[in-house]
Amino acid sequence: MPSSRHISGSKSAYLPAMIFGRKRWCLLDTGSEVSIIPARHVPSNVITTSVRSLNAANGSSIPVTGETNLLLDLGDQSLRVLCLESEHVDEILLGLTFLEDNRCVWHFADRSIQIRGHEYGLCA
């Protein structure tokens, strides 16, 4: 009889940041081409309409309610991040476009990331 086992992996992929005046945990997601933010985290006056669409890894459609150009405050630097907004995601995802645009270097063993030459610890 086959049994299943949980294989634990690193969960240190969250970057703490201030967004719209609140501390948030942003998941660094190399599997997402774009950055995505839950609709509940975005004030309605900073949302613009979007014609973009999202698909989950399984091919299902993820409804997009808009997009925003948010300010990601990392303490010693602030970055503008274009994010799609959806009511169907639970956490902020910083995708490949963010990682590429900001010349990120992910130090997996050290659980840190370099963003535009500044080093940040990652959290679980």
* pLDDT, tens only, 7-23: 455 678 999 999 999 99
pLDDT the model gives residue 53:
87
> Secondary structure of the chain: what % helix, strand, coil (to 5)?
10, 45, 45
| pTM as predicted | 0.88
Is residue 41 within 8 A of residue 62, CB to CB? The reply is no
The three-state secondary structure class of 39 is helix
Confidence of residue 59 (pLDDT cuts 50, 70, 90): confident
pLDDT band at 6 (very low <50, low <70, confident <90, very high): very low
- Of all residues in the chain, the percent with pLDDT exceeding 70 is 92
Q: Are 50 and 63 in contact (CB under 8 A)?
A: no
Domains observed in the chain: 14-121 (2.40.70.10)
* Coil vs helix vs strand at 120: strand
- Given a cut of 80, is residue 114 above it in pLDDT? yes
Q: Tokens at residue 45, please?
A: 């006056």
Q: Tokens 């995601």 label which residue?
A: 89
Q: Which residues pair with 94 in a beta bridge?
A: 28
